[in-house]
Amino acid sequence: MKVAVIGATGLVGKKIIEVLDQRKFPVTELNLFASEKSLGEKVLFQEKEIEIGILSAIDFSKFDLAFFAVDDKISKEYIPKAQKHCIVIDKSQAFRLDKDVPLVVPEVNPFACLKHKNLIASPNCSTIQLVVVIAPLRKLAKINYVTVTSLQSVSGAGSFALEQLQYEIEKIAVGETEKPESTPLLQPIGANLIPQIGEFGKDGYTSEERKIILETRKILNEPEFPISATCVRVPVFVGHCQVVDITFDRKVTVAEVQKALTKAPGIKVYTDGQYPMPIDVLDKDDVFVGRIRHHLSDEQRISLWIVADNLRKGAATNAVQIAELVLKQ
Amino acid sequence: MKVAVIGATGLVGKKIIEVLDQRKFPVTELNLFASEKSLGEKVLFQEKEIEIGILSAIDFSKFDLAFFAVDDKISKEYIPKAQKHCIVIDKSQAFRLDKDVPLVVPEVNPFACLKHKNLIASPNCSTIQLVVVIAPLRKLAKINYVTVTSLQSVSGAGSFALEQLQYEIEKIAVGETEKPESTPLLQPIGANLIPQIGEFGKDGYTSEERKIILETRKILNEPEFPISATCVRVPVFVGHCQVVDITFDRKVTVAEVQKALTKAPGIKVYTDGQYPMPIDVLDKDDVFVGRIRHHLSDEQRISLWIVADNLRKGAATNAVQIAELVLKQ
């Protein structure tokens, strides 16, 4: 397959190139594109150096498959052109909620790939790790409610946010307490927590929280799925964590939940006082679950703790898995 | 009043001395005690140097009031002796759930101070900031359920934990990724999250989570109050944050909740896209609330975000407020 990666020098673009190689995706020709800032850069793929091309000069008729790992604006501009010629897998949120664009997590709704108009969207990082866990639990018993507190690493906001955290850590290390004035994350993040990811809507929810709610509903094909979310940016480089409370419509046992998750694809379950943390999941493709327990007040309620590498399963790996699905079909 | 502070060189002990001064508590004589490690140290209080005495040599008959800011073991050993002679306010968890020991948050259950046997306990830091907010909302409407995700700074684990975070930050600043082997927090905390505070019980809850649940029930005087908690240690020096989801037994408006909290003692409410963060609350005595909003799926459910300085309102300030109450009575 002749493959193009658009946004090849960004955090997610780089990971896509890595994952294509690691998963032995049948690439016959890899073409990499980015904005003019990256002109002249070269990237190593399977022992060959590939020069970065400029976005504005792409001829999409030369490719079978294009991964878009760019922002909404660029996706909106280029994807309509691209999908005339090749299959597009888009990481941005530009088309995720469009009715005729499948939004796919291969462990959850692979069948959604069967019908597409050359464009398939990959969900938001925080949505992906959540639905991978919710989907098998929904088969166990009807779910009456889900609340999620999503503790998100700075890499979810791109490479400038990573630089902000590193810069602030260097200041804290030497005892400088002055906070940066203008920052990609809008607030200081070093030794701080920011309860805002994205812009606020009139209802008080941030765009990130709305993504979790609306994308989960679309992927589960349940437009009224009862879920609420709070997203907090945390001073972690890579790895999103989620505290999830699930209310079922019957009593469930912890053993049932553990068994359902252990059998489900793409999940690794921790038990017996063990739990995953961000430092454990770097460059891993599974979704990690621990701290599965009953509420003390209500045996229909379960709490659990989810961790995943937001750049891998939360982005690049999910996109490549979608490509694998399309290839099979 | 002749006042003693036991544990005067610890994080909370130091803050108690600071708060006694700032709140102009009527101290006629301040006596400071710590373990033998602190022998010879001196502390400045109201422009006088006070020498630290050794714990094992205390004569409690010389004091009217003693603040204990030590661990459970030392509290258990010394408080039974102390309460024969003076009023004791204890920050440890040693006696918090004892039937004849009041557990007091002055904004919530000041009347509990009226009857005591010379011993009043101050709750866990994470419990205090939570009940200050829940109590006025419980007057607004019956609460059917509370879930809290408590994001707790390392200062809650004492000065060695603060040193661990600083040490790890210094390593990350220079690009060293090796993790410390033996640490006060048991796991690496620099650029990481640890979903364990305290020891695990058989039910899968940590001791910190059980504290929130059981202490909240005692303070609210509702033994079956429906609440669940997940506690996560975060790489923040000072300031605990909580994501709280509350289900009422009727629809409530965001305006009602804002109004109830604005009128309640000890709370500062943020609205209109503003919110508190750990870096905002250092050395402040209020409990800060923001991000008050309805769940999109259910108008009986409200989410909100609580932040407080865990060493001040979560510990020292609450203890001194209890002393003020006792003094009034």
How many angstroms separate the CA atoms of A1 and A251, rounded?
49
**pLDDT for the residue numbered A152:** 98
Q: Are B9 and B307 in contact, with CB atoms under 8 Å apart?
A: no
CB atoms within 10 A of CB A56: 10
Looking at this predicted complex, what is its ipTM? Answer: 0.97
Q: Cβ neighbours of residue A209 under 8 Å, at least 6 residues apart?
A: A150, A197, A198, A229, A230, A231
Cβ–Cβ contact B271 with A under 8 A: no
**pLDDT for the residue numbered B57:** 84
Helices within chain B (DSSP H only): 11-22, 72-82, 125-140, 159-173, 207-219, 254-263, 317-328
Is A230 close to B243, i.e. CB distance below 8 A?
yes
Catalytic machinery residues of A: 125, 240
The helix or strand, by DSSP H or E, that contains position A144, with its residue range, turns out to be: strand A143-152
**pLDDT for the residue numbered A125:** 98
- What's the Cα-to-Cα distance from A257 to each of B82, B98, B241, rounded to whole Å? 49, 36, 29
The residue of A189, A224, A230, A252 whose CB has the most chain B CBs within 10 angstroms, and thus the best one to mutate to test that interface, is A230
**pLDDT for the residue numbered B178:** 76
Cβ–Cβ contact A2 with B under 8 A: no
Chain A to chain B, count of Cβ pairs less than 8 Å apart? Answer: 163
Q: Measuring CA to CA, which residue among B33, B34, B51 is closest to residue B42?
A: B51
**pLDDT for the residue numbered A150:** 98
* A223: helix, strand or coil: coil
Q: Are B306 and B133 in contact, with CB atoms under 8 Å apart?
A: yes
HSE-up (13 A, CA, CB side) for residue B276: 26
Helices within B192-297 (DSSP H only): 207-219, 254-263
User: Which structure tokens are listed for B157?
Assistant: 């684990």
**pLDDT for the residue numbered B297:** 87
CB burial of A142-179 (b: ≥16 within 10 Å; e: otherwise) equals ebebbbbbbbbbbbbbbeebbebbbebbbbbbeeeeee
Residue A143 zone, left/alpha/beta (φ > 0; ψ -120 to 50; rest)? beta
How many angstroms separate the CA atoms of B269 and B275, rounded?
8
Q: What residues of chain B lie within 8 A of the CB of A242, using their CB?
A: none
Q: What residues of chain B lie within 8 A of the CB of A166, using their CB?
A: 172-173
Nearest chain B residue to A237, by CA:
B191
**pLDDT for the residue numbered B329:** 85
Nearest CB to A235; choose among B191, B273, B290: B191
Which residues face A5 on adjacent strands?
A: A32, A67
Residue appearing with tokens 């009575």: B329
How many angstroms separate the CA atoms of A182 and B165, rounded?
25
Q: What is the DSSP string of A104-128?
A: --TTT-GGGGGS-SSEEE---HHHH
Q: What residues of chain A lie within 8 A of the CB of B145, using their CB?
A: 297-298
Cβ–Cβ contact B217 with A under 8 A: no
How many angstroms separate the CA atoms of A209 and B291, rounded?
12
**pLDDT for the residue numbered B183:** 84
How many angstroms separate the CA atoms of A138 and A227, rounded?
13
What does the pLDDT profile of chain A (329 residues) look like in tens digits? 999 999 999 999 999 999 999 999 999 999 999 999 898 899 999 999 999 999 988 999 999 999 999 999 999 999 999 999 999 999 999 999 999 999 999 999 999 999 999 999 999 999 999 999 999 999 999 999 999 999 999 999 999 999 999 999 999 999 997 777 768 999 999 999 999 999 999 999 999 999 999 999 999 999 999 999 999 999 999 999 999 999 999 999 999 999 999 999 999 999 999 999 999 999 999 999 999 999 998 999 999 999 999 999 999 999 999 999 999 98
Polymer length in residues for chain B:
329
Report residue A236 CA to chain centroid gap: 16
Domains recognised in chain B with CATH numbers: 2-123+315-328 (3.40.50.720), 127-310 (3.30.360.10)
Q: Cβ neighbours of residue B244 under 8 Å, at least 6 residues apart?
A: B130, B133, B134, B146, B147, B148, B149, B303, B304, B305, B306
**Four-point Cα dihedral A141, A291, A103, B304, nearest 10:** 100
Is B213 close to A296, i.e. CB distance below 8 A?
yes
* B88: helix, strand or coil: strand
pTM passes above 0.80: yes
| Closest chain B C-alpha to A236 CA, distance in angstroms | 4
Q: What residues of chain A lie within 8 A of the CB of B207, using their CB?
A: none
Q: Mark the ranges of chain B whose per-residue pLDDT is less than 70.
A: 182
Q: Are A269 and A239 in contact, with CB atoms under 8 Å apart?
A: no
Cβ–Cβ contact A61 with B under 8 A: no
Tell me the one-letter amino acid at A211.
Answer: K
Q: Measuring CA to CA, which residue among B138, B69, B75 is closest to residue B109?
A: B138
Q: Are B228 and A296 in contact, with CB atoms under 8 Å apart?
A: yes
Cβ–Cβ contact A245 with B under 8 A: yes
Burial zone of B200 (CB within 10 Å; 0-12 exposed, 13-18 middle, 19+ buried): middle
Q: Cβ neighbours of residue B111 under 8 Å, at least 6 residues apart?
A: none
The helix or strand, by DSSP H or E, that contains position B228, with its residue range, turns out to be: strand B227-233
Q: What residues of chain B lie within 8 A of the CB of A149, using their CB?
A: 149, 230, 243
Polymer length in residues for chain A:
329
Q: Are A89 and A322 in contact, with CB atoms under 8 Å apart?
A: yes
